[in-house]
C-alpha cells in the first residue's frame, strides 16, 4: 500500500474548534444524512461555486493584463527569437565556459619611455634647455631679463658647444651617482618652475644623490672619471640655486670637499678649468658667513659671546678674501699666463673664463662689504669699502664692454650686476660715516645695523625684480 500523502494545503480549522464541514450533522438524526446522494450533490455544488469564483478572478486579471500589454511596444517575432537565444545561452554551461575564456579587447598601446627620455617625461624638464646657462650659473632674476630682452633666448639656447650637459643624455645609466644627480637637479628645476611632477621630492633625491656621490668619490680613481665630474658639477648647480638667497650654509665647507677642490687638477686641458675648482671652494664659505652676520645682529650686542662671534666672522671673512686674491694671482702666473680677471675683455671669452670672473667679482664685493663693517680700524674699513666700490664699477664696465663683443657674455653679467648697482648707490653713506667719533662698543652696533639695512634692501630689490608682474 502506498503511504498516505499529505495534502498540499491543510484543511482549514477554526481556532480551537472542529474541522469545517459542508453540512452540520451535530443535531441531525443519523437517518437523514446517511443518504450518499445528498452528500454528492452538496459537494458538487460547492465545487461549482469555487470554480465560478476562480473563473471570475481570472477574467478580471486577463483584462488587466490586456490593458497593460496594449501600452507596451509590440515585440516582433525576431525579438522573441533573440530573447530566447539569449536565455538559452545564459542557461548553457558550455556557453558560460567559452565566455569566461574569451580574449578581452587589447588596450590602446601607450608609448614606453626609457633612459633619459623617461627622466624628461617624469619631471617635464629637459636638462638640455639649461645648457647655455650652466656656462655661468643662472641668477635668480634671469627670467626677468629674458622677458625684457626675449631675442636673447634664441641665441642663448642655441649656444650649446661648451656645456657638459650636452653629454648627459648619452651618459644616462652609466653610473648611479650621475643618474641620481640628474634626477636631483631636474626635480629641483621642475619645482622652481612650478611644473607638475611625478615621483619623489627634490629633498629626498638630494640626499640620495649626495650619498651616491660620496660612494663614488671614495673609490679612488673613480673620483677622477667623467661621471663623477659631471655629478659634482650637477650638485654644484643644485647648491648654487637659491643658496645665497636662502640664508644657509653650504655643504662644500666640509674639509673633505675643500681637500678635493684644492687637489691636483692638472689633467684639465686649460687653466680656466683647473682654477674653477679652487675659486668655487673659496666661494662656498660665503653663505655661512652671511648667515652668521645676520644672527649676530639678532642677538643682544652686549650679550655673552658677542665679541667672540664677531671676531670669528671677521677671521673667516679675511681668510676667504685672501684665498680669492691668492687664486687670482695663481691664475695669472700659471701657463699660458692669462690676463687679470679684473681687466675688461678685448674679445669674446670662453665660458670658463666668464665663470671665473663671476666667482671672483661678486663674492669679493660681498666679503669686502663685510670686512668694511667688522674691522675696528677706520682706515681698514675705508680700504675695504673702496675695494668694493672698485669691483662694482669694474663689473659694470665689463658688462658694457662685453655687450659689444659677446652679447651672451654681457647678459650673464647683467643678471648679477644688481649687486654692483646697490654697492655704488650706497657709496656715500659707507665712505663718509659720521659716527667715527663714537666709542667702538656703540659704533660696531651702528655699523652692523647699516650692513643689515643694506643687505635687506638688496635682497628686497632682488625679490621685487623676480616677483614683478
Residue 52, pLDDT > 70, answer no
Give the mean pLDDT of the chain.
73
Residue 124, pLDDT > 50, answer yes
Residue 34, pLDDT > 50, answer no
Between 42 and 274, the higher pLDDT residue: 274
- Mean pLDDT for 443-458 is 88
How many whole angstroms from its chain centre is CA 147? 24
230 closest CA partner among 184, 197, 191, 195: 184
Give phi and psi for 13, each to the nearest 5.
-130, 140
Model's pTM, two decimal places? 0.54
pLDDT digits (tens, 9 = 90+) for 273-283: 778 888 888 88
- Mean pLDDT for 166-187 is 87
Residue 176, pLDDT > 70, answer yes
* Number of neighbouring beta carbons within 10 Å of residue 139: 27
Between 143 and 396, the higher pLDDT residue: 396
What is residue 14's predicted lDDT score, i.e. its pLDDT? 45
Q: What percent of the chain has pLDDT over 90?
A: 16
386 closest CA partner among 369, 361, 374: 369
Residue 21, pLDDT > 80, answer no
What is residue 411's predicted lDDT score, i.e. its pLDDT? 79
Between 450 and 441, the higher pLDDT residue: 450
pLDDT digits (tens, 9 = 90+) for 370-393: 999 999 988 999 999 999 999 999
Q: Is the peptide bond before 336 cis (omega within 30 degrees of 0)?
A: yes
- Mean pLDDT for 151-169 is 63
183 closest CA partner among 200, 195, 163, 160: 200
What is residue 387's predicted lDDT score, i.e. its pLDDT? 96
Kindly list the domain boundaries of the chain, sorted by start residue.
113-241, 247-469
Residue 238, pLDDT > 70, answer yes
What is residue 39's predicted lDDT score, i.e. its pLDDT? 62
Cβ distance 264 to 201 under 8 Å? no
Residue 327, pLDDT > 80, answer yes
pLDDT band at 252 (very low <50, low <70, confident <90, very high): confident
pLDDT band at 68 (very low <50, low <70, confident <90, very high): very low
Q: How far is CA 232 from CA 125, 131, 239, 280, in A?
A: 20, 16, 10, 12
What is residue 397's predicted lDDT score, i.e. its pLDDT? 93
- Mean pLDDT for 87-112 is 51
Q: In angstroms, rounded to a whole number, what is the distance separating the alpha carbons of residues 427 and 454? A: 11
Amino acid at each position: 500500500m502506498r503511504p498516505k500523502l499529505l495534502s498540499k494545503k491543510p484543511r482549514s480549522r477554526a481556532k480551537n474548534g472542529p474541522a469545517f464541514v459542508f453540512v452540520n450533522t451535530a443535531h441531525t438524526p443519523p437517518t437523514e444524512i446517511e443518504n450518499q446522494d445528498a452528500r454528492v450533490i452538496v459537494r458538487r455544488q460547492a465545487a461549482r461555486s469555487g470554480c465560478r469564483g476562480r473563473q471570475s478572478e481570472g477574467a478580471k486579471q486577463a483584462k488587466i493584463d490586456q490593458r497593460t500589454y496594449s501600452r507596451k511596444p509590440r515585440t516582433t517575432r525576431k525579438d522573441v527569437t533573440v530573447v530566447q537565444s539569449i536565455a538559452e545561452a545564459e542557461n548553457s554551461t558550455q556557453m558560460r565556459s567559452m565566455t569566461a575564456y574569451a580574449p578581452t579587447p587589447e588596450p590602446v598601446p601607450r608609448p614606453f619611455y626609457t633612459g633619459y627620455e623617461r627622466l624628461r617625461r617624469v619631471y617635464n624638464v629637459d636638462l638640455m634647455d639649461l645648457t647655455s646657462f650652466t656656462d655661468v650659473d643662472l641668477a635668480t632674476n634671469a627670467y626677468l631679463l629674458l622677458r625684457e630682452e626675449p631675442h636673447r633666448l634664441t641665441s642663448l639656447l642655441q649656444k650649446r658647444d661648451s656645456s657638459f650637459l650636452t653629454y648627459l643624455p648619452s651618459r644616462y645609466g652609466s653610473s648611479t651617482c650621475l643618474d641620481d644627480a640628474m634626477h636631483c637637479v631636474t626635480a629641483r628645476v621642475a619645482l622652481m618652475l612650478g611644473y607638475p611632477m611625478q615621483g619623489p621630492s627634490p629633498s629626498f633625491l638630494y640626499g640620495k644623490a649626495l650619498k651616491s656621490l660620496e660612494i663614488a668619490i671614495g673609490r679612488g680613481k673613480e673620483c677622477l672619471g667623467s661621471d663623477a665630474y659631471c655629478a659634482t658639477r650637477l650638485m654644484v648647480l643644485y647648491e648654487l640655486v637659491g643658496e645665497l638667497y636662502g640664508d644657509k650654509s653650504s655643504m662644500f665647507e666640509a674639509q673633505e670637499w675643500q681637500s678635493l677642490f684644492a687637489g691636483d687638477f692638472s689633467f684639465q686641458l686649460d687653466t680656466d678649468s683647473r682654477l674653477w675648482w679652487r675659486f668655487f671652494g673659496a666661494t662656498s664659505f660665503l653663505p655661512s658667513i652671511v648667515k652668521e652676520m645676520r644672527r649676530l645682529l639678532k642677538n643682544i650686542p652686549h650679550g655673552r659671546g658677542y665679541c667672540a662671534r664677531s671676531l670669528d666672522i671677521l677671521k673667516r671673512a679675511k681668510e676667504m678674501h685672501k684665498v680669492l686674491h691668492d687664486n687670482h694671482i695663481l691664475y695669472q702666473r700659471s701657463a699660458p699666463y692669462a690676463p687679470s680677471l679684473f681687466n675688461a675683455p678685448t674679445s669674446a671669452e670662453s665660458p670658463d673664463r666668464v665663470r671665473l670672473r663671476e666667482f671672483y667679482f661678486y663674492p669679493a664685493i660681498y666679503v669686502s662689504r663685510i670686512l668694511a663693517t667688522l674691522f675696528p680700524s677706520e682706515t681698514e674699513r675705508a680700504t675695504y669699502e673702496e675695494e668694493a666700490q672698485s669691483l662694482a664699477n669694474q663689473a659694470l664696465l665689463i658688462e658694457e664692454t662685453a655687450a659689444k663683443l659677446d652679447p651672451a657674455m654681457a647678459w650673464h653679467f647683467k643678471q648679477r650686476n644688481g649687486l654692483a648697482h646697490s654697492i655704488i648707490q650706497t657709496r656715500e653713506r659707507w665712505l663718509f660715516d659720521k659716527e667715527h667719533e663714537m666709542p667702538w662698543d656703540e659704533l660696531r652696533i651702528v655699523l652692523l645695523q647699516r650692513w643689515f639695512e643694506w643687505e635687506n634692501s638688496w635682497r628686497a630689490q632682488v625679490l621685487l625684480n623676480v616677483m614683478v608682474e
